[in-house]
Amino acid sequence: MTPGLLSILVPLYNEEEFVAAILARVLAADLPGGLRREIIVVDDGSTDGSVEVVQALAREHSAIRLLRHDRNKGKGAAIRTALDAADGEYALIQDADLEYNPAEYGKLLRPLIDGRADVVFGSRFLVSGERRVLYFWHALANWLLTSACNIVADLNLTDMETCYKAFRTQLAKSIPLRSNRFGMEPEITIKFSKREARIYEVPVSYHGRTYAEGKKIGFRDAIAALAVILRYGFTNDIYKDTGPEILESFNAAKRFNRWMADTIRPYVGSSVIEIGAGIGNLTREIIARRRKYVATDIDDEHLARLAARFQHRPAFTAQRGDLGRPSDFESLSESADTVVCLNVLEHVEDDLLGLRNVRSVLTSGGRAIILVPQGQWAFGKIDVALGHHRRYSEPQLRARLEECGFTLERMIHFNRVSLPGWYLNGSLLGRGTVSAFQLRLFDRFVWLWKRIDPWLPWGPTSLIAIARKPSP
């Protein structure tokens, strides 16, 4: 994504009369924070002269790009095409009619630029400015759909169906969007909520059209939107990639995460750097009462989600940290008494370099808590999907730590109970993901697994090394 660039996404279908006027307003709109603009128009199979109008404008204005569908697929499909082509740090949806006023871009974009929001909705029903008074039944349908969406997404929006939505582009690009027509509005809303995005609403004016003037949304679209709400309200289809999807599944496994946190908690000090924090599944369990807590990750969307989840914690900061890049840890040199590094070392091609980076941020006498997967024989497709380079044996992990100057205090065998299932799914059945149902079932019985785990006659799924950086 290009910093300081706004991608304005314009779905277009048979708006020959209005598209030149709206694009002129988009080009003239003041943008806050010194933003530059690119305008991506996606013609969705127009049968009038819309394409020729946009082509003529694009020859005059380099900021305008025109993409075309060979047939009408729907507004959602057009937005998806525009979003795929977007290069901006932020994106904003602008319909090709004159119902919404580009002069109000500043209202929509300010919470994004200030870093307070990930998503901003322009509400037609918050008290501000003016709006054209039109159809009661449309307003009622909007209220019903917004209420239904709020129920499943646990939000309190006033206008889910608004066509003015602005967001961080990378966030939207990482979400799979399936709806081709107007169902895109509730789908993207629900998925933003499930990704724990910071959603704001701002009031905007609205100058709606009548059906005689070209309004396209109707009763059938309302029914379809309700079906979309029911579909995506009860599924977890919120990541395009498998790795983050698995992390999201573990996010729901609160009992398992608590079990892991309880295991390492006695070794965690007051000043903590967590390397590879992901979306904060373990962070939320161990952050309380820490004097300092720095969470690092290599994924910008994970960092944004961490910042949103823990913004109320004054001791918390999130920053980029690639365990294979020493420069990422220079600012943290000898600044923590504890490093928590769970399920990360196996992702680093040069694990010795990774351990040296862990050592570099510890104060003298500081402690590293390193959790890695155990048993190379159990390496399977789930490991591949997660980006693992290896699984460790206890002697191998011990040797790596000692080579990097650590003193091993204790090696903990953690979670024997899941190793057969991991091997069955990843190696024997060749599956590349963890079933959400299996994980929920496993999580429900963690109280039992904790009691029987020490007595099981096979090795653990994970090894937890508790290691010290020796004092001089």
Give the residue from 113, 124, 94, 109 showing the smallest Cα distance to 25.
94
For the chain, the C-alpha Rg in angstroms (whole number) is 26
60: burial class by Cβ within 10 Å (0-12, 13-18, 19+)?
exposed
For the segment 372-393, the average pLDDT, to the nearest whole number, is: 91
Q: Which residue has the higher pLDDT, 131 or 389?
A: 389
- DSSP H or E run through 422: helix 419-423
Q: What is the reported pLDDT for 216?
A: 52
For the segment 193-198, the average pLDDT, to the nearest whole number, is: 91
- Find out whether 43 and 54 touch, Cβ atoms under 8 Å: yes
Structure tokens that stand for 242 in this block: 């498998």
d(C-alpha 346, C-alpha 185), whole Å:
39
Has residue 96 got a pLDDT over 50? yes
Q: What is the reported pLDDT for 248?
A: 65
Has residue 213 got a pLDDT over 60? no
d(C-alpha 284, C-alpha 89), whole Å:
28
pTM of the complete model = 0.79
Instruction: Please state, in angstroms and as integers, the Cα–Cα distance from residue 103 to each residue in 22, 28, 109, 324, following that order.
Output: 11, 8, 12, 46
Looking up tokens 């608590």 gives 258
3-state secondary structure of 216: coil
- Find out whether 373 and 343 touch, Cβ atoms under 8 Å: yes
Q: Where are the beta strands (DSSP E) in 331-389?
A: 336-342, 362-373
d(C-alpha 379, C-alpha 375), whole Å:
7
Has residue 244 got a pLDDT over 70? no
- Find out whether 24 and 101 touch, Cβ atoms under 8 Å: no
Alpha helices by DSSP H, listed for 37-104, are 50-60, 75-85
- Find out whether 16 and 100 touch, Cβ atoms under 8 Å: no
Structure tokens that stand for 387 in this block: 């980006």
Q: What is the pLDDT of residues 403-434, one digit of tens each?
A: 999 999 999 999 999 999 888 888 888 787 77
Instruction: Please state, in angstroms and as integers, the Cα–Cα distance from residue 406 to each residue in 35, 59, 356, 424, following that order.
Output: 49, 64, 9, 35
Q: Does domain 2-233 have CATH number 3.90.79.10?
A: no
Has residue 239 got a pLDDT over 60? yes
Looking up tokens 């909705």 gives 121
3-state secondary structure of 425: helix
What DSSP state is assigned to residue 392? B
Has residue 265 got a pLDDT over 90? yes
d(C-alpha 68, C-alpha 142), whole Å:
30
Which architecture does CATH list for 242-468? Answer: 3-Layer(aba) Sandwich (3.40)
Structure tokens that stand for 85 in this block: 């082509």
Q: Lowest-pLDDT range, 205-219, 231-245, 341-355, 361-375? A: 205-219
- pLDDT bracket for residue 88 (50, 70, 90): very high
Give the residue from 340, 408, 405 showing the smallest Cα distance to 372.
340
For the segment 325-332, the average pLDDT, to the nearest whole number, is: 95
d(C-alpha 76, C-alpha 47), whole Å:
19
According to DSSP, the residues that pair with 461 across neighbouring strands are none
State the first-to-last Cα distance of the chain, in angstroms, to the nearest integer: 45
- Find out whether 132 and 84 touch, Cβ atoms under 8 Å: no
Range with the largest mean pLDDT of 128-142, 213-227, 282-296: 282-296
Has residue 160 got a pLDDT over 70? yes
Residue type, 157: L
Residue type, 110: R
3-state secondary structure of 257: helix
According to DSSP, the residues that pair with 368 across neighbouring strands are 339, 467
- Percent of the chain clearing pLDDT 90 (strictly above): 71
Residue type, 86: A
CA angle, 5 as apex, 171 and 186 as ends, to 5°? Answer: 35
Q: What is the reported pLDDT for 251?
A: 64
Number of residues that make up the chain: 472
- Find out whether 355 and 404 touch, Cβ atoms under 8 Å: yes
Structure tokens that stand for 409 in this block: 């205090």
10 Å Cβ neighbour count for 345? Answer: 26
Return the domain boundaries, the chain: 2-233, 242-468
Structure tokens that stand for 450 in this block: 């904790």
Give the residue from 100, 105, 10 showing the smallest Cα distance to 64.
10
Instruction: Please state, in angstroms and as integers, the Cα–Cα distance from residue 348 to each residue in 15, 215, 355, following that order.
Output: 52, 54, 10
- Find out whether 203 and 107 touch, Cβ atoms under 8 Å: yes
